[in-house]
Structure formats: C-alpha cells, structure tokens
Amino acid sequence: ARTEKIADLPRRLDTEGAPDRYAASAGDLTWYAPWGNLAIFYRDFPSASGLVRLGRLDGGVEALRDATRVRIELAGP
C-alpha cells in the first residue's frame, strides 16, 4: 500500500471498548479488525470503520516508505 505497511499477527486482538472508527495519522500503529492486520501508517488516512489505534511511533516515518521489514518493540508498561 502507498499509505501504510501491514502485517498479519498470529492471533486476533480484543477490540472490546474500542471506538468504531479511527482516522489514522502518519506514525500511527493500528489494528484493522475486519482483516486482522497490524498497520503502521506513513501517510494520513481517512476515518475507517474497524480501525483501532494501538500507539504511535516515536521517530519519523520516512524510513517506513521503502522498508521491507520493520521491528516493533513494546515500550513502557
């Protein structure tokens, strides 16, 4: 995609209590519940049903545009 990098996770995430829609901004880490994809956005994206914000990148998103692999680590509690 020209807006985000996606990956499949080994299991679905629980989205109970999450908003029904979300408009992603560049740098957002999200879960697209209908397809079960993890997505990191490097461009803004309009509101989508089933898109859940999980977090945000600390640094710039420029390196994601041409990346073929990305490593994500949990930081904080």
Confidence label for 76 from pLDDT (cuts 50, 70 and 90):
low
Question: What residue ranges do the domains of the chain occupy?
Answer: 4-60
Burial of 50 (C-beta count, 10 Å sphere; 0-12/13-18/19+): middle
The two three-digit tokens of residue 17, written as one number: 């209590």
Query: Which position has the token pair 């859940």?
Result: 52
Tell me what the pLDDT averaged over the chain comes to. 86
DSSP 35: T
| pTM confidence score | 0.79
Q: What is the pLDDT of residue 63?
A: 67
The rounded distance, in Å, linking the Cα atoms of 68 and 11 is 22
CB 76 within 8 A of CB 58: no
| Predicted confidence (pLDDT) per residue in 34-48, tens digit | 999 999 998 999 999
